[in-house]
């Protein structure tokens, strides 16, 4: 299955196919004539897939090297980027060479950030290996690293030359990590695709979803493709992808990053927004119940405790209060129909009410 992302200055294909990783060499050969390729990956993914990929690329006569860093969000830093720059310079990488990002969202964000800044930008490819990366982070060209103060605060917009998605690699993923992706999949269906929603509804559990994951990934990539094409630089419509994320990010931050995963926090955020929006008459009655039963089926949390309401409010509004800004939030008119609404910061307190 192929999808093309078409932007004013660049277009690229996404290939989605079980087992396609065995053809990685043909794929790269069609896209690049580069002499050197640096595979950027983390230790976990390297052990599982690193040497397979590098051996395949060696066969095609590419000069392949590998930059491997410790798995986990804390590696998505300027310090790791610095090490990667030194690595590339040591290996004599020039602008005719390229980077292949092999891994989850952490690898993808870091490797694409490095590619877009080393020598003011060299070519890169994405080979996402988590469900979250396959439906979300590898598409759309947002690159990022974290600083001590905030996540994703440093980054660029830079599109890859291609994305190769092999759902087979999901077999080695931990359950909690699979659910990270499922939360975003439910989000896509909720904001933009009633037929995807119905499909998800028809699966009895995450195992059945995984059996059909190729078509689910395709549907999600198609939604993200459309939104990114309309708003490459995140000036408007792309915000719709933030459904559940305003409260979700706050839940993650207040709990301490890693305690509640991103997907779990987003699941709670989607339910909470819909609960309050329904009470306000802004969302069709029954939407929250539909979200809850969908998320529960996939073992994602839906319960939201109001105990931390004040902390969450602070986390959401702290940088906006002084300027009296409004906040843009995403609500569902109905399942499959998300919309962006601008509210005053005080209104956020309503959206944090649990009962
Ligand atoms: N750029 C974007 O548009 C965008 C969008 C959403 C999220 N993100 C970013 O993505 C990151 C989260 O991504 P993630 O959830 O993929 O995390 P991750 O990259 O840390 O991967 C999670 C864990 O799974 C392991 N792993 C990866 N593939 C595996 C496989 N096939 N089998 C077994 N283990 C495997 C990794 O080593 C890691 O330990 C965050 O930093 C977030 O900010 C970016
Ligand atoms: Zn997310």
Q: CA of 30: how far to CAs of 23, 111, 154, in Å?
A: 11, 21, 32
Please tell me if the CB atom of residue 172 comes closer than 6 angstroms to any atom of ligand 1: yes
The closest alpha carbon to 302, from 173, 160, 194, 179, belongs to 179
Task: Find out whether 224 and 139 touch, Cβ atoms under 8 Å.
Answer: yes
Please tell me if the CB atom of residue 44 comes closer than 6 angstroms to any atom of ligand 1: yes
Tokens coding 300: 């994602």
pLDDT at 229: 97
Euclidean distance between CA atoms 124 and 93, whole angstroms: 13
- Ligand 2: centre distance to CA 211 (Å): 23
pLDDT at 109: 98
List helix spans (H) across 118-212.
Answer: 131-132, 175-192, 194-202, 206-211
Euclidean distance between CA atoms 145 and 84, whole angstroms: 13
Euclidean distance between CA atoms 170 and 132, whole angstroms: 10
- Protein residue with its CA nearest to atom 3 in ligand 1: 137
Interhelix angle 309-317/245-255, nearest 10 degrees: 110
Q: Which ligand is nearest to the CA of 157?
A: 1
The full set of domains in the chain, from first to last, is 2-173 (3.40.50.1970), 201-351 (1.20.1090.10)
3 state DSSP class of 289: helix
- Ligand 2: centre distance to CA 145 (Å): 15
Tokens coding 6: 């078409």
Task: Find out whether 219 and 193 touch, Cβ atoms under 8 Å.
Answer: yes
Tokens coding 351: 């959206």
Q: Residue 239: CB partners within 8 Å, gap ≥ 6?
A: 328, 330, 340
3 state DSSP class of 148: coil
Q: SS3 for 58-74, per residue?
A: HHCCCEEEEEEECCCHH
Task: Find out whether 168 and 18 touch, Cβ atoms under 8 Å.
Answer: yes
Please tell me if the CB atom of residue 173 comes closer than 6 angstroms to any atom of ligand 1: yes
Torsions phi, psi for 303 (to 5 deg): -85, 135
- Ligand 1: centre distance to CA 134 (Å): 9
Q: pLDDT in tens for each of the 355 residues of the chain?
A: 999 999 999 999 999 999 999 999 999 999 998 789 999 999 999 999 999 999 999 878 899 999 999 999 999 999 999 999 999 999 999 999 999 999 999 999 999 999 999 999 999 999 999 999 999 999 999 999 999 988 899 999 999 999 999 999 999 999 999 999 999 999 999 999 999 999 999 999 999 999 999 999 999 999 999 999 999 999 999 999 999 999 999 999 898 877 899 999 999 999 999 999 999 999 999 999 999 999 999 999 998 777 788 899 988 887 666 566 789 999 999 999 999 999 998 899 999 987 6
The closest alpha carbon to 253, from 269, 232, 241, 231, belongs to 269
3 state DSSP class of 165: strand
- Ligand 2: centre distance to CA 75 (Å): 19
Q: What is the DSSP letter of 162?
A: E
Task: Find out whether 302 and 296 touch, Cβ atoms under 8 Å.
Answer: yes
Q: Residue 328: CB partners within 8 Å, gap ≥ 6?
A: 239, 340, 341, 342, 343
The closest alpha carbon to 184, from 116, 235, 133, belongs to 133
Please tell me if the CB atom of residue 129 comes closer than 6 angstroms to any atom of ligand 1: yes
Euclidean distance between CA atoms 270 and 345, whole angstroms: 18
Can you count the helices (H) and strands (E) in the chain? 15, 9
Q: C-alpha angle 241/202/268, rounded to 5°?
A: 40
Tokens coding 301: 């949390």
Q: What is the pTM of this model?
A: 0.96
Please tell me if the CB atom of residue 291 comes closer than 6 angstroms to any atom of ligand 1: no
pLDDT at 58: 86
Atom number, ligand 1, closest to the C-alpha of residue 142: 1
Euclidean distance between CA atoms 299 and 294, whole angstroms: 9
- Ligand 2: centre distance to CA 320 (Å): 21
């Amino acid at each position: 299955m192929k999808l093309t992302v078409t932007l004013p200055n660049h277009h690229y294909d996404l290939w989605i196919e079980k087992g396609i990783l065995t053809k990685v060499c043909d794929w790269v050969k069609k896209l690049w004539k580069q002499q050197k390729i640096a595979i950027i990956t983390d230790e976990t993914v390297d052990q599982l897939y690193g040497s397979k990929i590098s051996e395949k690329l060696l066969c095609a006569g590419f000069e392949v090297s590998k930059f491997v860093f410790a798995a986990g969000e804390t590696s998505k830093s300027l310090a790791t980027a610095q090490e990667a720059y030194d690595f590339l310079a040591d290996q004599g990488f020039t602008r005719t060479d390229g980077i292949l990002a092999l891994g989850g969202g952490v690898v993808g964000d870091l490797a694409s950030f490095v590619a877009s800044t080393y020598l003011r930008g060299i070519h890169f490819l994405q080979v996402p290996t988590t469900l979250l990366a396959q439906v979300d982070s590898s598409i759309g060209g947002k690159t990022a690293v974290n600083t001590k103060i905030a996540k994703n605060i440093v980054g660029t917009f830079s599109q890859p030359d291609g994305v190769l998605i092999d759902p087979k690699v999901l077999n080695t993923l931990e359950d909690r990590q699979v659910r990270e992706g499922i939360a975003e999949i439910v989000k896509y269906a909720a904001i933009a695709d009633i037929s995807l929603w119905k499909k998800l509804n028809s699966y009895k559990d995450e195992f059945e979803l995984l059996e059909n994951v190729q078509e689910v990934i395709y549907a999600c990539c198609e939604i993200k493709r459309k939104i990114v094409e309309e708003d490459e630089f995140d000036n408007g419509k792309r915000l719709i992808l933030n459904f559940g994320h305003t409260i979700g990010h706050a839940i993650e931050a207040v709990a301490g990053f890693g305690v509640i995963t991103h997907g779990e926090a987003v699941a709670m955020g989607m339910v909470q927004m819909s609960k309050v929006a329904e009470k306000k008459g802004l969302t069709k009655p029954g939407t929250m119940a539909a979200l809850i039963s969908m998320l529960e089926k996939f073992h994602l949390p839906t319960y939201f405790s109001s105990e931390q309401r004040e902390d969450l409010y602070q986390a959401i509004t702290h940088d906006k209060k002084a300027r009296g800004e409004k906040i843009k939030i995403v609500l569902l008119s109905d399942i499959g129909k998300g919309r962006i609404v601008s509210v005053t910061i005080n209104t956020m307190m309503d959206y944090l009410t649990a009962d």
